[in-house]
């Protein structure tokens, strides 16, 4: 299978602690893959390696066949990888629309064109009524939406979502899930998500990778993964499905 | 989607109208005011100009420079030296001044941004550079050293705009043009890609980088543009005052003067530096004359009151005076920092 994002043998340690140890997996174009696992399993570290925040100790990451490991985050973004942050990081002092516009500027040649696409994205995420508000005034669910809107506006080839459902109510989660399904179906957007909300994971992903202690302990189709004894043992055991 | 667009169009003329009225008043002012008032107006425009230039770094890109006197001084000395030694006028000399300041700013920016120095550490670096440039200039006898550097002053009947020698009114119009130009440049920058990237870097450098922004490059652009603009104030300074002392020009107090206006007026806003310059200069001047008129011969009293006023604004209007004033004038500004 041809892979859009290919993670191969990634190892990353922090002063002796191996956060990620020899992790390999891939995301095919148009696919939605979920990365799950208990806290401290190395999911966010892996994300940060892919996004250029950390340079891996070993292994390589390719996007569309091009090496992206070791590049700076802005270069990784320019290569077509968009990401959100686990703790939403809006540009607090500027308006919601301007936040998204900054993202849109990656692709668009002019501010005018970027504004247009930012407006469309803001509307799509349900932030239209708040577009002129400073981002600092947003509630947590709206911050999460803004985080997604901003990354989405940069027209990534693959979108990395770090716990964007955390803190959302079930109906809000469902809305977000519906949006990603729509983007995936209509625009072929490829998504890799870290998520604890299994309701969203099950509804979205076609493929799940389970990390534990920095290693992949299981990967496969969702219904197969959630029945796996090792996965149940380390992670899903307490989780109400 | 239609309604907001239409209201935006209706609102647009208001700031333009106010700006036009202000511009018109400033254009005709020399015909109506005395020489003292004219010198105060020049001070206001000078402060608005340097504030605008500094605001690019701090207000837009979020990089705190406490050493902007460095660029004023470098610009002043470069243009003055070319004039005194080679007879090259300020209009040609200003390019050399800008180039020198851009090199200085570029060097500081490169050292800081390449090695991830930011926040207060960046501020300390800018102070350090301004300070050792001051000490260095004390020892360059070619441009007067610590004894000062003087531009030739002659009695003349007409103003010589080419060599920037002449009556205060000429300096007034030059400074007015510079201030207007700075405002236009800042407006254009702020609505450009670069401007948006600066705001993003100011708000969250890491998130900005994740959106594809080369933060190093855009911070460098900010420091270089800001330094170049600031150096022109130095050229003006040299030809207006005709004397330069490293002790004064590069003094940290000068750097602080530059930053007070935009902070007082409203960081990151276009009118903040202007509003701050107007209020602070008038406040300083009126306190000086008021205390002497009232016969309160307490040394430093006016500075004490001045400080108290600054304190009050910081306490009650942490975003500066412009945001509330703009609301009062009915101008809807874009949400920059303190747009609230």
Same-domain status, A18 and A122: no
Across A170-205, b (16+ Cβ under 10 Å) vs e yields: eebbebbbebbeebbeeeebbbbbbbbbbebbbbbb
B193, B212, B335 member nearest A111 (Cβ): B193
Last residue of a domain, one of A134, A155, A176: A155
**What pLDDT sits at residue B157?**
73
Q: Are residues A184 and A75 in the same domain?
A: yes
Q: Which two tokens stand for residue A134?
A: 């400073």
Structural element, H or E, at residue A10: strand A5-14
Subunit contact A77:B215, Cβ cutoff 8 A = no
Domain coverage including residue A41:
1-80+157-241
**Are A3 and A28 within 8 A, CB to CB?**
yes
Q: Say whether both A75 and A179 belong to one domain.
A: yes
Residue B337: pLDDT over 80:
no
Last-in-domain residue among A118, A135, A155 = A155
**Chain A contact for B191 (CB, 8 A cutoff):** yes
Q: Which of A78, A85, A111 is opposite residue B207, by nearest beta carbon?
A: A85
The pLDDT confidence band at residue A1, using thresholds 50, 70 and 90, is: low
Residue B116, exposed/middle/buried by CB under 10 A (0-12, 13-18, 19+)?
exposed
Look at residue B3 in the predicted model and tell me its pLDDT. 43
Residues A58 and A168 grouped into a single domain: yes
Q: What is the pLDDT of residue A240?
A: 44
Hey, which residues 211-230 in chain B have their CB within 8 Å of chain A? 211-215
Q: Which of B60, B206, B211 to substitute to test the interface with A, most A CBs within 10 Å?
A: B211
Rounded Cα distance between B209 and A77, Å, is 8
In angstroms, the separation between the Cα of residue A54 and the nearest Cα of chain B is 13
Q: Of B203, B211, B339, which is closest to A103 when you measure between CB atoms?
A: B211
CB B68 within 8 A of CB B259: yes
Residues 95 to 114 of A: which have CB under 8 A from any B CB?
95, 98, 101-103, 105-106, 111, 114
Q: For chains A and B, count residue pairs whose Cβ atoms are closer than 8 Å.
A: 93
Q: How many domains does chain A have?
A: 2
My answer on whether A237 and A161 are in the same domain is yes
- When the pLDDT of each residue in chain A is averaged and rounded to a whole number, the result is 93
Same domain, A128 and A21: no
B4-31 confidence digits (pLDDT tens): 444 444 445 677 888 889 999 999 999 9
Q: How far is CA A107 from the centre of its chain?
A: 19
CA B334 from chain center: how many Å?
Answer: 22
The rounded distance, in Å, linking the Cα atoms of B208 and B293 is 54
pLDDT at B334: 61
Q: Are residues A146 and A29 in the same domain?
A: no
A80 touches chain B (CB under 8 A): no
The chain A residue lying nearest B319, using CA atoms, is A93
Q: Does A151 touch chain B (CB under 8 A)?
A: yes
Same domain, A164 and A76: yes
Residue A143, pLDDT above cutoff 50? yes
Kind and range of the H or E element at A191?
A: strand A190-194
pLDDT digits (tens, 9 = 90+) for B109-155: 999 999 989 899 999 999 999 999 999 999 999 999 999 999 988 77
What sections of A2-131 are H helices per DSSP?
A: 43-50, 73-78, 96-104, 111-124
Distance from CA of B7 to the nearest CA of A (A): 13
pLDDT (0 to 100) of residue B163: 85
pLDDT tens by residue, B255-306:
999 999 999 999 999 999 999 999 999 999 998 888 888 888 778 888 888 9
Does the pLDDT at position B196 exceed 80? Answer: yes
- Cβ–Cβ below 8 Å for B206 and A89: yes
CB contacts, 8 Å: B266 with chain A: none
Say if A78 is an interface residue toward chain B (CB within 8 Å): yes
Whether A93 and B196 lie within 8 Å, measured CB to CB: no
Q: Contact A91/B214, CB-based, under 8 Å?
A: no
The CATH code that applies to domain B15-24+34-328 is 1.10.3470
Same domain, A15 and A116: no
């Amino acid at each position: 299978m041809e892979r859009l994002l290919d993670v191969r043998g990634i190892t990353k340690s922090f002063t002796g602690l191996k956060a990620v140890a020899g992790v390999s997996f891939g995301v095919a174009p148009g696919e939605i893959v979920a990365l799950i696992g208990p806290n401290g399993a190395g999911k966010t570290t892996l994300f940060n390696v892919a996004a250029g925040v950390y340079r891996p100790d070993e292994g390589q990451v390719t996007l569309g066949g091009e090496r992206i490991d070791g590049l700076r985050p802005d270069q990784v973004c320019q290569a077509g990888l968009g990401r959100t942050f686990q703790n939403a990081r809006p540009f607090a002092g500027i308006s919601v629309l301007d936040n998204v516009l900054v993202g849109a500027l990656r692709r668009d040649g002019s501010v005018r064109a970027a504004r247009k696409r930012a407006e469309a994205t803001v509307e799509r995420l349900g932030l239209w009524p708040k577009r002129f508000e400073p981002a600092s005034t947003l509630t947590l669910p709206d911050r999460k939406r803004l985080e997604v809107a901003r990354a989405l506006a940069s027209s990534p080839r693959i979108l990395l979502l770090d716990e964007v459902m955390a803190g959302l109510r079930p109906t809000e989660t469902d809305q977000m899930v519906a949006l990603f399904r729509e983007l995936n179906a209509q625009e072929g957007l490829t998504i890799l998500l870290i998520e604890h909300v299994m309701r969203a994971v099950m509804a979205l992903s076609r493929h799940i990778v389970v990390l534990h202690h920095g290693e992949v302990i299981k990967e496969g189709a969702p219904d197969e993964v959630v029945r796996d004894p090792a996965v149940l043992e380390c992670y899903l055991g307490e989780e109400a499905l | 989607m239609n309604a907001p667009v239409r209201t935006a169009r209706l609102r647009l003329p208001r700031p333009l109208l106010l700006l036009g009225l202000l511009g018109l008043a400033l254009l005709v002012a020399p015909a109506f005011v005395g020489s003292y008032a004219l010198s105060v107006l020049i001070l206001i425009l000078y402060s608005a100009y340097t504030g605008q230039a500094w605001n690019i770094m701090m207000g837009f890109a979020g990089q705190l420079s406490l050493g902007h006197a460095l660029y004023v001084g470098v610009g002043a000395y470069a243009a003055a030296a070319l004039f005194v030694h080679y007879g090259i006028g300020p209009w040609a000399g200003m390019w050399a001044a800008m180039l020198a300041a851009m090199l200085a700013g570029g060097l500081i920016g490169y050292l800081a941004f390449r090695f991830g120095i930011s926040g207060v550490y960046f501020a300390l670096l800018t102070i350090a550079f301004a300070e050792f440039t001051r000490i260095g200039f004390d020892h360059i006898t070619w441009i007067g050293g610590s004894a000062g550097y003087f531009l030739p002053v002659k009695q003349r009947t007409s103003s010589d705009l080419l060599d920037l020698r002449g009556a205060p009114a000429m300096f007034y119009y030059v400074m007015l043009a510079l201030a207007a130009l700075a405002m236009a440049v800042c407006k254009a920058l702020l609505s450009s890609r670069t401007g948006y990237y600066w705001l993003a870097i100011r708000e969250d450098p890491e998130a900005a980088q994740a959106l594809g922004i080369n933060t190093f490059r855009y911070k460098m652009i900010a420091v270089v543009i800001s330094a170049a603009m600031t150096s022109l104030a130095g050229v003006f300074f040299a030809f207006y005052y005709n004397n330069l002392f490293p002790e004064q020009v590069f003094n940290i107090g000068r750097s602080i003067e530059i930053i007070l206006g935009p902070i007082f007026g409203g960081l990151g806003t276009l009118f903040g530096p202007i509003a701050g310059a107007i209020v602070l200069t008038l406040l300083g001047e009126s306190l000086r004359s008021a205390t002497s008129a009232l016969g309160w011969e307490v040394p430093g009293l006016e500075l004490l009151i001045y400080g108290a006023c600054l304190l009050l604004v910081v306490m009650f209007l942490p975003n500066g005076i412009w945001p509330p004033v703009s609301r009062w004038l009915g101008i809807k500004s874009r949400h920059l920092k303190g747009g609230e």
